[in-house]
Structure 1
Amino acid sequence: MNPSGQRGGTLRYVRTDDFDSLDPADTYYAYTWNFIRLIGRALVGYATDAEGGPRLVPDLAEALGQASEDSRTWTYRLREGVRFEDGTPVTSHDVKYAVLRAAYPEQVYGTPVTRGGPAYFRQYLTGPDGIETPDDRTLVFRLREPFAAFDYLAALPTTIAVPREHDTYPEYHRRPVSSGPYRISTYVPGERLTLDRNPHWETATDPVRTALPDRITVRLGASGPEVDRILLDGEADVDLAGVGVQPETQALVLADPELERQVDNPRTGFVWLYCLNQNIGPLKNVHARRAVQYATDKAAMLAAYGGDAAGEIATTLLPASVVGYDHFDRYPVGPEGTGDLEAARRELARAGLPDGFTTRIAARKDRTKEWNAALALSRALARVDIRAEVVPFTSGDYFTKAVGVPAYVREHQIGIVMFGWAADFPDGYGFLQQIADSRAIKETGNQNLGELASPRIDALLDAGAATRDDKERARIWATVDRAAMDEAVMCPYMYVKSVVFRGPRAANIRMSPAYGMYDYAVLSVVDGEARAAEEDTNTR
């Protein structure tokens, strides 16, 4: 929508909280993955095909990976002419170092280090020696197990090149070195970020990004309602998170024909869910967890996000946009979606808890809709005497210091964690592995928040990863979905649609199914350059 080849101007984002991290080894928020591509280039990237689906394309590499017969060895060759912001060439050694500092940081830094990004490379590489660089442009990855879709892993931020001599860990997140079209000019965490052009980026070497704006700014730390006001008043062009406006604003923009022209309502591929930790108090009992599932008022939780325009009631972990989706409903909550209280009470009796129990719900209070959904869940559980206190957290350290730290969860007896998830890549493995594989549980930055530990599920994930046949692979992911739901450690309650309001200056509007939001690699602005520059100066 609104296509334009106009070059120049300032593209202005706004966001409630900060980035989780601009260090490519430590990031796990979808909007950061989408945005960080403006700064750094991974081996593989995504383009949107004519049908609107994500398509893997070579990015820093000149072609997709060459696989051995057994899918255990993958080879990539880098493009010529790609340079860092200081003009030095990007080499295979820089990519190898980036992967090693993410996957084996203790080897790189000589001290134990926890990472907040995905752990696929540590899981699959044969070890720190599992990456070879026979020359400055060639990388060879050797895997301990076959992985038939390794190009998806090569598209993760983990493969964004990091020059060893400029690695300022633990402060690298403040000023990562650019290999993309933009470099960081100013970054005040929690307040603002400014990107200016990387003078050594060349359009001819980059099939993913258009880099039309001269400057990109991000205003951080606004409340949800304030983000909406900023967008409506024309002080910003796009909400960085891409999750949509507040329910009150949603009603306003959908009722006004003029404003509605600036609204998009796509299915995002995100699923809102909550996790039940099987190591916390009464929730150690599967019947107690199933009681929570049955007692959930999914209709009220959907209403907290804005109702039908914001999404649909979910019954499966996998959304329809991910390979492996197969509709089923393990815990029906009634035709109105308000809960099956009799089924919940039967499960409580089976757990030996006829009088209910007490637990705690973690939610991010700076995400108004999530917080209100948590309150709706608490009220619904109270109907069957499950007393659940909602405990507030902030987004910035939610996973790195709180709910993503199993020791913290146990110490504070947090039984339920509000959560949102989308595929790391648009395949059942990319959605399920990090949240359902026991081997993905980490000391910090953990995403398997229910601490699900099922040998059967682990084995199914391994089998699917090695499977080249698309239909069989999809069947395996559907089986994993059912097996995980049977354990009742995750309750999906909403397939997400976004009611996204964009400023009139935003151009080249294209949804990225890979990230569930606008494609930030091609977004730009038209007209109003002088006004944008003036407003940007006034906000500094």
Structure 2
Amino acid sequence: MNRKTLVPLAMIGLLAPVLVACGSTDGGSGGGDAIVVGTTDQFAATADSPAPLDPAYAYDTGAWNVLRQTVQTLMHPPRGGGEPVPDAAESCVFTDTASESYRCKLRSGLKFADGTPVTAEDVKFSIQRVLDIDADNGTAALLSNIDTIETKGDDEVIFHLSTPDATFPYKLSTPVAAIVSPKQYDGKKLREGFEVEGTGPYTMKSETDGDRVSRVVFTKNPNYKGDIKLRNDRVELRSFPDAEAMGKALESGEIDMMTRAMSPEQIKELSTAPKEGITLTEVPGLEIRYLAFNTKDPSVKNKAVRQAMAAVIDRGQIVGQVYGSTAEPLYSLIPSSIAAHTNSFYNKYGEPSRKKAAALLNDAGIDTPVELELNYTTDHYGAGTAKEFEALRDQLNATGLFDVTIKGTEWAEFRPAQKRGDYAVYGLGWFPDFPDPDNYTAPFLDKGNFLNSPYVSEEARSLIPQSRREADRTAASPAFKRIQEIVANDVPVLPLWQGKQYVAAHDDITGVEWALNTSSDLQLWELARGSGV
């Protein structure tokens, strides 16, 4: 086995026709030429989340990794990172110096699955639909500063923004801005189930087991017109219940590649005890993990409780005990590999200190031990999550200042409960929509944030649009520095660590180093079998 390590790519500035059917599918080692990719992502339709693959609702990495193969956006992230490039668009540009008017001209020849040409009105419909539905998943917040959408002829669309936003091209490159067919999608209602209609590089068929998708086969879309170059004709994405099962499938040859989320133990084993014919590749990643708080819950309403947790949690111990070399401690919502990062939590609280935590609680008149339940999801971020929360529990309880219990719940139940405010303290991960400090702040602090958090900082909310005015993103650093200070003081969220990401694949699969970008988006079109790219 060879182990490849890719140096993270430098950021640019501070940013650094689909049918779904249930039934049998081809693919796998004995089923044709499909490249088979394993994942532990779960795709479920439930009463709380009946439309997991609707672009107006989907806002998690797993769902986006299906959508990115099958729908098309005006812009898309380029292969090596950096500023988005046109995909469904032929060109896009700000037409003013204030970054308030953004004009796109559509690429010629775009067609939906039924052969209907894609027009500027379809683009307008698709974006307006997201805003009109305004799903409770926080999806629409990415596009919330759109004031009006204007069309000129069949191939030109202009977005007039309510406030300047230099990050807008990045937002148009996310699946939230997918172009969908008005014939297939209701403008006011989510599309339930697992059907997707788009103009992306692949068509898809899915196989379900009850209310869950077990595998999806992506087949090259002959009608695709865009910037992406496909290096294969077919890829299968197969969902596994856990990393262990996925690893066994890779070793047996049932799958060709496995991706998120591999366990820390698997990564260590593949690094230190190579398996014949299997290559482990580290690719640039910008994942963060954190605790978040329902600041209206009586147990954590007083920020002194949250501050005391920030003062006593030992991130280094958690990383060393659970994740090893695959993660590193994080002291801000903005990871250290993104410009504008400051170690705001370390600057305020320093090294873990029971004495400091006790003083914070005592000064606020809070009786100890403080009883808390920490909630986490069992099946969304990988096998290390349970061990991480056990370590957090043990650390907090060892101080005598807290009486902590932990509870794990499947993602399909966990996420709706979290949005309802059922949990006082809960753990989540964040894979950025795009690699800019804005995307590590606005989704947590702005109005309509994806946490559905009751916490409000008027100062932070005024700084967010201020930071977006800066086309030169380095000029936004002072605003982001102040936002990080606010978060460290108020602790609506408590950053824990930032992680690396890995892919393991058989040696005959090429393009593996491009299969995941920094936002953990799968780029399955990069994979090929048996020959270089």
TM-score range, shorter chain: 0.7 to 0.9
Alpha carbons 1:17, 1:396 under 8 Å: kept:
no
Alpha carbons 2:111, 2:118 under 8 Å: kept:
yes
2:199 equivalent in structure 1: 179
Q: CA offset at residue 420 of structure 1?
A: 0.9
Q: CA offset at residue 377 of structure 1?
A: 0.8
In structure 1, how many angstroms separate the alpha carbons of the residues matched to 2:140 and 2:244? 31
> Is 1:230 equivalent to 2:249 in the alignment?
yes
Alpha carbons 1:289, 1:488 under 8 Å: kept:
yes
Paired AA for residue 490 in structure 1: V
Paired AA for residue 42 in structure 2: D
Paired AA for residue 46 in structure 1: P
In structure 2, how many angstroms separate the alpha carbons of the residues matched to 1:272 and 1:353? 28
In structure 1, how many angstroms separate the alpha carbons of the residues matched to 2:315 and 2:216? 37
Show CA shifts across 1:446-472 (max 9, x none): 3254x3310110111121012233322
Determine helix, strand or coil for the equivalent of 2:488: helix
In structure 2, how many angstroms separate the alpha carbons of the residues matched to 1:436 and 1:471? 21
Gap regions ≥5 residues in structure 2:
6-31, 45-51
Identify the match of residue 377 of structure 1 among 365, 383, 392.
392
> Is 1:310 equivalent to 2:326 in the alignment?
yes
In structure 2, how many angstroms separate the alpha carbons of the residues matched to 1:105 and 1:19? 21
In structure 2, how many angstroms separate the alpha carbons of the residues matched to 1:259 and 1:518? 28
Identify the match of residue 337 of structure 2 among 314, 321, 334.
321
Question: How high is the sequence identity, in percent, across the aligned residues?
Answer: 20
1:220 equivalent in structure 2: 239
Alpha carbons 2:99, 2:165 under 8 Å: kept:
yes
Identify the match of residue 345 of structure 1 among 358, 380, 384.
358
Q: CA offset at residue 176 of structure 1?
A: 1.0
Q: CA 1:489–1:85 in structure 2 vs 1: closer, same or farther (change >3 Å)?
A: same
Moved more, 347-356 or 516-525: 516-525
In structure 1, how many angstroms separate the alpha carbons of the residues matched to 2:269 and 2:70? 35
Alpha carbons 2:57, 2:190 under 8 Å: kept:
no
1:119 equivalent in structure 2: 141
Q: CA offset at residue 116 of structure 1?
A: 5.0
2:528 equivalent in structure 1: 525
Q: CA 1:280–1:75 in structure 2 vs 1: closer, same or farther (change >3 Å)?
A: same
Question: TM-score by structure 1 length?
Answer: 0.83
1:139 equivalent in structure 2: 157
Alpha carbons 2:42, 2:239 under 8 Å: kept:
yes
Q: CA offset at residue 374 of structure 1?
A: 1.3
Superposed counterparts of 1:6-17, under 5 Å: 9-17=33-41
Alpha carbons 1:132, 1:141 under 8 Å: kept:
yes
1:193 equivalent in structure 2: 216
Superposed counterparts of 1:149-160, under 5 Å: 149-160=167-178
Q: CA offset at residue 513 of structure 1?
A: 8.0
In structure 2, how many angstroms separate the alpha carbons of the residues matched to 1:231 and 1:359? 40
1:167 equivalent in structure 2: 185
Alpha carbons 1:75, 1:139 under 8 Å: kept:
yes
Q: CA offset at residue 287 of structure 1?
A: 1.1
Determine helix, strand or coil for the equivalent of 1:97: helix
> Is 1:420 equivalent to 2:429 in the alignment?
yes
Paired AA for residue 393 in structure 1: T
In structure 2, how many angstroms separate the alpha carbons of the residues matched to 1:217 and 1:514? 19
2:29 equivalent in structure 1: none
Q: CA offset at residue 522 of structure 1?
A: 3.6
Q: CA offset at residue 163 of structure 1?
A: 0.9
Determine helix, strand or coil for the equivalent of 2:203: strand
In structure 2, how many angstroms separate the alpha carbons of the residues matched to 1:261 and 1:233? 11
Alpha carbons 1:324, 1:476 under 8 Å: kept:
no
2:92 equivalent in structure 1: 64
Q: CA offset at residue 526 of structure 1?
A: 0.9
2:501 equivalent in structure 1: 498
Alpha carbons 1:266, 1:499 under 8 Å: kept:
yes
2:116 equivalent in structure 1: 88
Superposed counterparts of 1:344-423, under 5 Å: 344-366=357-379, 367-384=382-399, 385-399=401-415, 401-406=416-421, 409=422, 414-423=423-432
Question: TM-score by structure 2 length?
Answer: 0.84
Q: CA 1:319–1:371 in structure 2 vs 1: closer, same or farther (change >3 Å)?
A: same
Superposed counterparts of 1:277-292, under 5 Å: 277-292=294-309
Q: CA offset at residue 486 of structure 1?
A: 1.4
In structure 1, how many angstroms separate the alpha carbons of the residues matched to 2:277 and 2:371? 44
In structure 2, how many angstroms separate the alpha carbons of the residues matched to 1:196 and 1:267? 27
Superposed counterparts of 1:469-508, under 5 Å: 469-508=472-511
Show CA shifts across 1:473-523 (max 9, x none): 123222212221211122111121124322333311234785433751542
Q: CA 1:141–1:31 in structure 2 vs 1: closer, same or farther (change >3 Å)?
A: same
Gap regions ≥5 residues in structure 1:
3-7, 107-112, 529-540
Q: CA 1:66–1:318 in structure 2 vs 1: closer, same or farther (change >3 Å)?
A: same
Alpha carbons 2:56, 2:133 under 8 Å: kept:
no
Determine helix, strand or coil for the equivalent of 2:183: helix
In structure 2, how many angstroms separate the alpha carbons of the residues matched to 1:39 and 1:519? 12
Alignment RMSD: 2.6
Alpha carbons 1:321, 1:426 under 8 Å: kept:
no
Alpha carbons 2:220, 2:233 under 8 Å: kept:
yes
Alpha carbons 2:432, 2:519 under 8 Å: kept:
no
Alpha carbons 2:53, 2:63 under 8 Å: kept:
yes
Paired AA for residue 444 in structure 2: I
In structure 1, how many angstroms separate the alpha carbons of the residues matched to 2:241 and 2:263? 13
Determine helix, strand or coil for the equivalent of 2:495: strand
Alpha carbons 1:33, 1:157 under 8 Å: kept:
yes
In structure 2, how many angstroms separate the alpha carbons of the residues matched to 1:200 and 1:193? 20
